[in-house]
Structure 1
Amino acid sequence: MTNYQHEQYFAHCHGHPKKPLEIYMFVDPLCPECWSLEPVIKKLKIRYGRFFTLRIIASASLTALNKKRKKHLLAEAWEKIASRSGMSCDGNVWFEQDQPLSSPYMAALAFKAAELQGRKVGMQFLRNMQESLFVSKKNITDENVLLEIAEKTSLDLEEFKNDLHSQSAVKALQCDMRIAAEMDVSVNPTLTFFNTQHEDEGLKVPGSYSYDVYEEILFEMLGDEPKPSETPPLECFIEYFRFVASKEIALVYDLSLEEVEKEMKKLAFAKKVAKVEAKHGMFWKSLSTYSDEYQSCEK
């Protein structure tokens, strides 16, 4: 599909100062619950992205991770979240490396360093970090791994290296953590909804819930139940996001996982996607030549 066709379905997701709502999403790159919310966020942006701007706030659980909880408890928690959510996260990562995820601060700092090159590429860098950790079991607190992710995200590598060790990234992360403290955010993920046309306090929603919960909150904040934007054809969706889980497709298109498998096999037979098996669930990688850099349906 052409760039024009992609924009036809995704342009409304991009930022605009006159959108009536702003959503602050507090995330930790190492948090499997944040990763499990990806299908919900995709569907919300595709259907109602014309009404809100999404702002990602780094809210790394530095204290909790730095307490060095027992590996087997962390691994067990990850496996339960993956089984419940359908978004694979492999707990074995805690046993397969000498010092797994030893510097949570570095992962959060890397996200802010990437975001200095633009909010859109920052979003894609975060997604690529999550894929590297939860699907490929890579240590995203290791600087060499972060540089690989930066290259995959088409960041300016020299600029990213410099920013990773700069006061600019540190200040950006400190700003995010100050926002989290001011809003009394203690759980990842947390979504806070603001109506930009009113000065009322935002509506804070800690934890992860089903799609219907967030849609209902969106309607409440808008004071209306608007008609959703048109969902793009499945092939267009895959081309745009490049790497997606069966769970994401199932939620966005209201399909069962069996129906997703059937549809994706057709695209695989046509050599438009490749199947990527994970410990929990399935992912699909686009083989198309569409390359309008990395997309995040964001801002």
Structure 2
Amino acid sequence: MIDKKQPEMNLFAFVCSNEKPLELYFFIDPLCPDCFALEPVIKKLQFQYGHYFSLTYVLSGNISNLNHVNRKLIRSRQPKKYEKTVTRSHINCNDIEAKVNLSSPYIASIAVKAAELQGKRAGIRFLKKLQEYIYLKNENISKLEILIQCAKESSLDVDEFKKDIHSTSTSHAFQCDLKITNEMAVTETPTIVFFNNKIEEEGLKLSGVNTYEVYIEVMAEILGELPVSHPLPPLLTFIQYNQFVSTRDIAFTYNLPHLQVETEMKKLLLQQQVERIHTSYGTFWKYIG
């Protein structure tokens, strides 16, 4: 049920603060539809269990994804058994010799790393805007002008973004992500690797799109106890934080039937808080309030 009386909360401070018992590495490819399909699960985990973990995006890229961007999103799969991976202390990126390469299909991932140089929050905003352009607007994000437009709409310093996307610092950051991907033996996206706050201990790796309960199960195994959930935020706060969400995302997050979600969203539509967008992936709602 959506709690309309619950006070506003600083969601970014809640989900991105430090000093938490768990750290999650989220391996994604911006062109991977399954990564986009997993976003509702990630959002709900952050809102309900964000006080337990910090989330780090690790960018990857796969040529095969260029031919699959337009296929339907996969919403569920059979859960995969998680496996152990290396410790974080074994990963060192100091030996990487950065080489600037803006060739497709990696330009989207490199652009996200360029945005991250303006801060973690900026990087997340840019990634969400990039996904909006790919899946809602069907834009070709291998074009530099489209990436610059995403930077503008993400409230980035566009001049800095233009410099950074061609810089060795950005190239080094992306190549470091690729090294982490290799060191942790990540062979597909999306993949999430769970670590506790003891850097010398191995992490647990979970690949593919799994049910919400599976991710909580992995967290519980590492913590040694079942995590306690935090109340979900008010609906408008949820939409404002995410900027655009689908009817399906809202229904999943709040455990509501689609008809009830449509009713609530039509109220916000009349209040000119949101804009409705029809796509091949379903109905999306964009915050404009």
Structure 1 contact 42–248 (Cα < 8 Å) conserved: no
SS at match of 1:204: strand
1:224 alignment counterpart: 225
Deviation digits for residues 67-102 of structure 1 (CA, Å, limit 9, x no counterpart) = x7xx5xx36xx43326x46xxxxxxxxxxxxxxxx8
Matched, 1:158 2:159: yes
1:65-80 mapped onto 2 (5 Å cutoff): 71=67, 74=68, 78-80=70-72
Which 10-residue stretch deviates more, 29-38 or 230-239?
A: 230-239
| Paired position in structure 1 for 2:192 | 191
**What is the TM-score when the length of structure 1 is the normalising length?**
0.81
Moved over 3 A (4+): none
Report the secondary structure of 2:17's partner residue.
coil
CA distance in 1, matches of 2:272, 2:108: 35
TM-score (structure 2 length as normaliser): 0.84
Match of residue 11 from structure 1: 13
Which ranges of structure 2 fall in alignment gaps of 5 or more residues? 77-102
AA aligned opposite 1:46:
F
Mapping of 1:167-206 within 5 angstroms? 167-197=168-198, 199-206=200-207
Alignment of 1:258-297 (within 5 A): 258-288=259-289
- Cα 1:213/1:116, change in 2 over 3 Å: same
Q: What's the CA shift for 1:224?
A: 1.5
CA distance in 2, matches of 1:286, 1:19: 30
Structure 2 counterpart of 1:79, one-letter code: R
Tell me the percent identity: 44
Q: How many residues align?
A: 258
Which residue identity does 1:144 align to in structure 2?
E
CA–CA distance in 2 between the matches of 1:207 and 1:243?
23
Q: Distance in 2 between matches of 1:237 and 1:195?
A: 27
The Cα of 1:270 is off from its aligned counterpart by: 2.5
Contact map agreement 2:72 2:281 (CA 8 A) in 1: no
Q: Distance in 2 between matches of 1:287 and 1:103?
A: 32
| Structure (1 or 2) with the greater helix fraction | 1
Confirm whether residue 122 of structure 1 aligns to residue 120 of structure 2: no
* Contact persistence 2:110–2:174 (CA under 8 A): yes
Call closer, same or farther: CA 1:10–1:162 in 2, change over 3 Å.
closer
Question: Any unmatched runs of 5+ in structure 1?
Answer: 86-101, 289-299
2:105 alignment counterpart: 104
RMSD: 2.0
Determine if contact 1:43/1:252 at 8 Å carries over to the other structure. Answer: yes
